Chain A
Amino acid sequence: MSKIHEAFARARSENRAALIGYLPAGFPTRDGAIECIRAMVAGGVDIVEIGLPYSDPVMDGPTIQEAVDISLANGTKIVDVLDTVKHIASDGTPTLVMSYWNPIERLGVDKFAAEMAAAGGAGVITPDLTPEEAAAWNVATDSNHIDRVFLVALSSTNERIATVAAETTGFIYAGAVMGVTGARTSLSGAVQDLVARTRQASDLPIAVGLGVSTPEQAHDIAQYADGVIVGSAFVNAINAGGAQAAQQLAEQLSVGVKRS
């Protein structure tokens, strides 16, 4: 069983959803990111998503855009992202990278997949790559034994969900809002329907992200999804109170993801 599936299985056996935490590499600094991610894991994060900072993050709202700008201004390169993966994965934490497509294509799809595998990474989430354009990526991820995670959206038809489900490995990422990343005060009820429609098409775990920030939201989602993904709220916490605040938020969220 892959590290990711082990983490989902453990959460299920504890009658809760898995908690997935996102942070861009190089934010607030290169070492600071590693420290903050370790604090998130200490607070109860099961699976880590490390963002690869990109100059044109069209799926991200202001919170993550600013964090990514800081990271890029710090000089973060792909090698630094892979090095961050290596640190976190060597702790035994299942670690994914979330990356827009161009940096992967620029490095070379096979090289990127191979270097992720060498760093101990478990998989890659690609928010602007859909299965239609993924032929080379499918081969590269398969041959390097890392997962490739595609997204389903509230606007996805059942036909598209089936297409995405057929190509995804690891877990399926269900977007909770129509829009960019960033904390939201309320989430649409449609996401539960999206998860249900996705279940019809796949036996893979389904994790819900985009806009999720509070333990209450995590709790609601945990009742029907296998994982809860939180990003911007961790960035906000770190901006306010550093690694300690990130750990506290993880502790609160890890209570939230329990099934009642």
Chain B
Amino acid sequence: MSNDSVVVPDTLGHFGPFGGRFVPEALMAALDEIDDAFHKAILDPTFIAELNDLLVNYTGRPSPLTVAKNFSKYCGGATILLKREDLNHTGSHKINNVLGQALLTKRMGKTRVIAETGAGQHGVATATAAALFGLECVVYMGEEDTRRQALNVARMRLLGATVVPVTTGSRTLKDAINEAMRDWVANVESTHYLFGTVAGPAPFPELVREFHRVIGKEARQQMLDRFNRLPDAVVACVGGGSNAIGIFHEFIPDAQVRLIGIEAGGDGVETGRHASTITGGAVGVLHGARSFVLQDDDGQTVESHSISAGLDYPGVGPEHAYLHHTGRAEYRPVTDSQAMEAFQLLSQSEGIIPAIETSHALYGAMTLGKELGSDAVILINLSGRGDKDVETAARWFGMTE
């Protein structure tokens, strides 16, 4: 079990053996600049007030905690509580981090933001903040993802962003990050790379975590206020890991609360066609940090597979690798078809259409509820809404004409 008195990350961005910075020298100055701006900002009452104002009056925080009475029956009768990040402006948790980083961009005097996106939710949130703050915005998105998340491509363009379909490699999130890094290294003077998850080189894993911690802070207080207790388990899907870290963090000192991250199992981990980086990967360096990576014996990245664009990534944030390493959190895979089953069940029992990413966490809670029984209380991070996924879902369920 972890020693909670150890502060992670250390000053070089290490979470135990994970994290750090593995980047071209050309980016070191920019990462130092972000690190410095970030640590100053979070101690500056003006910054905190500005961010809080945006979170309350623009995003609509705090997000509600919904008791999913009907969905409970698919979860062994356990009490199911949904932290409704889908109700945030732009439809997912991603906006929390984006508004924080957009304010930092202003403070650093940069005029252009770039972002990678998988499901398009981070891209939409970034395009939204860029519109609000008058920043130029370019979003890199794998060509495969522009197809399966076409609604979000249209949203980004309507918001005034340039969307660049990336045609290298697997044409998904990994390749979008590669392309964004190439842009950044060439334009770093004017440009902030508004990174969308708790992966990447230091300080991104820490910085993105801090901007998403609001999820867990609110949820923990809502639990205490309304139920006078903490949950038995907190469940969240893990792509890069930002919504999971955001809801987990406040509960880390509560040793009795299990923290369970759900990875995308694709066709099943045993088939090799999956995105379960911790379950099925090995320790390595990808996109600037040491963590778990899907890779072969030569250290070449292996392509990930998932029905969910937002989880279809062969890496994972270093703090998740650390939480796995210390045993504080557990990671389990959920396959495409299991996630789609949960997608349909939540939609039809609660009238809430979840993102396919989130549906992985929902299925994880179904399994966990059956394990723990009807006395259990399970908190799920409902990280996003499923509007962007209606086409994929309609095709999956054979509902297209």
Q: Shortest Cβ distance from A166 into chain B, in angstroms?
A: 14
Distance, CA A152 to CA B169, complexed state (A): 29
Distance, CA A69 to CA B169, complexed state (A): 9
Q: Shortest Cβ distance from A174 into chain B, in angstroms?
A: 10
Instruction: Say yes or no: A104 contacts B22, CB within 8 Å.
Output: no
Distance, CA A143 to CA B223, complexed state (A): 57
Instruction: Say yes or no: A77 contacts B25, CB within 8 Å.
Output: no
Closest Cβ neighbor of B182 among chain A residues: A180
Distance, CA A151 to CA B28, complexed state (A): 11
CB proximity to B under 8 Å, residues A48-80: 54-59, 61, 65, 69, 72, 77-78
Given A55-B169, A102-B285, A133-B21, A77:B298 Cβ within 8 A: yes
Residues in A whose Cβ lies below 8 Å from that of B189: 178
Q: In this assembly, does A199 line the interface, its C-beta being within 8 Å of a C-beta of chain B?
A: no
Given A132-B12, A155-B28, A180-B186, A106:B23 Cβ within 8 A: no
Stretch binding the partner chain, chosen from A83-91, A156-164, A235-243, A250-258: A156-164
Partner of B29, one of A61, A129, A155: A155
Q: Shortest Cβ distance from A33 into chain B, in angstroms?
A: 17
Q: In this assembly, does B297 line the interface, its C-beta being within 8 Å of a C-beta of chain A?
A: yes
Distance, CA A226 to CA B224, complexed state (A): 67
Q: In this assembly, does A105 line the interface, its C-beta being within 8 Å of a C-beta of chain B?
A: yes
Instruction: Say yes or no: A155 contacts B299, CB within 8 Å.
Output: no
Q: Shortest Cβ distance from B71 into chain A, in angstroms?
A: 39
- Contact flags (1/0) for B6-26 with A, using CB distance below 8 Å? 000000100000001111111
Q: Shortest Cβ distance from A42 into chain B, in angstroms?
A: 31
Instruction: Say yes or no: B25 contacts A175, CB within 8 Å.
Output: yes
Distance, CA A174 to CA B353, complexed state (A): 53
Q: In this assembly, does B115 line the interface, its C-beta being within 8 Å of a C-beta of chain A?
A: no
Instruction: Say yes or no: A105 contacts B174, CB within 8 Å.
Output: no
5 A-B pairs whose Cβ atoms sit less than 8 Å apart in the complex: A59-B182, A102-B299, A130-B23, A160-B28, A179-B26
Residues in B whose Cβ lies below 8 Å from that of A103: 298-300
Partner of A106, one of B22, B187, B297: B297
Q: In this assembly, does A128 line the interface, its C-beta being within 8 Å of a C-beta of chain B?
A: yes
Instruction: Say yes or no: A58 contacts B299, CB within 8 Å.
Output: no
Instruction: Say yes or no: B22 contacts A129, CB within 8 Å.
Output: yes
Given A55-B301, A178-B186, A65:B12 Cβ within 8 A: no
Q: In this assembly, does B295 line the interface, its C-beta being within 8 Å of a C-beta of chain A?
A: yes
Residues in B whose Cβ lies below 8 Å from that of A107: 298-299
Q: Shortest Cβ distance from A135 into chain B, in angstroms?
A: 11
Q: Shortest Cβ distance from B348 into chain A, in angstroms?
A: 41
- Contact flags (1/0) for B282-294 with A, using CB distance below 8 Å? 1011111010010
Residues in A whose Cβ lies below 8 Å from that of B169: 55-56
| Residue in A128, A152, A160 whose Cβ sees the most chain B Cβ within 10 Å | A128
CB proximity to A under 8 Å, residues B264-294: 282, 284-288, 290, 293
Chain B residues close to A by CB (< 8 Å)? 12, 20-30, 168-169, 174, 178, 181-182, 185-189, 282, 284-288, 290, 293, 295, 297-301
Residues in A whose Cβ lies below 8 Å from that of B24: 58-59, 127-128, 151, 153, 175
Q: Shortest Cβ distance from B23 into chain A, in angstroms?
A: 6
Instruction: Say yes or no: B186 contacts A133, CB within 8 Å.
Output: no
- Contact flags (1/0) for A123-152 with B, using CB distance below 8 Å? 000011110110000000000000000111
Q: Shortest Cβ distance from A134 into chain B, in angstroms?
A: 10
Residues in B whose Cβ lies below 8 Å from that of A150: 25
Distance, CA A105 to CA B286, complexed state (A): 11
Residues in A whose Cβ lies below 8 Å from that of B29: 153, 155-157, 160
Beyond A102-B293, A133-B20, A151-B26, 7 additional pairs, beta carbon < 8 A: A56-B287, A58-B287, A78-B298, A105-B290, A153-B24, A175-B26, A178-B187
Query: How many A residues have CB within 8 A of the partner chain?
Result: 40
Residues in B whose Cβ lies below 8 Å from that of A128: 22-24, 285, 288
Closest Cβ neighbor of B295 among chain A residues: A106
Instruction: Say yes or no: A55 contacts B300, CB within 8 Å.
Output: yes
Distance, CA A104 to CA B293, complexed state (A): 14
Residues in B whose Cβ lies below 8 Å from that of A153: 24-26, 28-29
Q: Which 4 A-B pairs have the closest CB atoms?
A: A106-B299, A179-B186, A103-B299, A153-B26
Distance, CA A133 to CA B201, complexed state (A): 12
Given A59-B24, A154-B26, A179-B186, A105:B299 Cβ within 8 A: yes
Residues in B whose Cβ lies below 8 Å from that of A56: 169, 174, 178, 286-287, 301
Distance, CA A154 to CA B24, complexed state (A): 12
Distance, CA A59 to CA B23, complexed state (A): 9
Given A58-B182, A101-B285, A107-B298, A152:B174 Cβ within 8 A: no
Instruction: Say yes or no: B299 contacts A130, CB within 8 Å.
Output: no
Residues in B whose Cβ lies below 8 Å from that of A164: 25
Distance, CA A25 to CA B174, complexed state (A): 24
| Residue in A65, A69, A105, A178 whose Cβ sees the most chain B Cβ within 10 Å | A178
Distance, CA A41 to CA B181, complexed state (A): 33
Q: Shortest Cβ distance from B181 into chain A, in angstroms?
A: 4
Instruction: Say yes or no: B284 contacts A102, CB within 8 Å.
Output: yes
Distance, CA A9 to CA B177, complexed state (A): 41
Instruction: Say yes or no: A156 contacts B28, CB within 8 Å.
Output: yes
Distance, CA A141 to CA B83, complexed state (A): 51
Distance, CA A151 to CA B168, complexed state (A): 26
Residues in B whose Cβ lies below 8 Å from that of A77: 298
Partner of B178, one of A58, A106, A179: A58
Instruction: Say yes or no: A65 contacts B168, CB within 8 Å.
Output: yes
Closest Cβ neighbor of B315 among chain A residues: A56
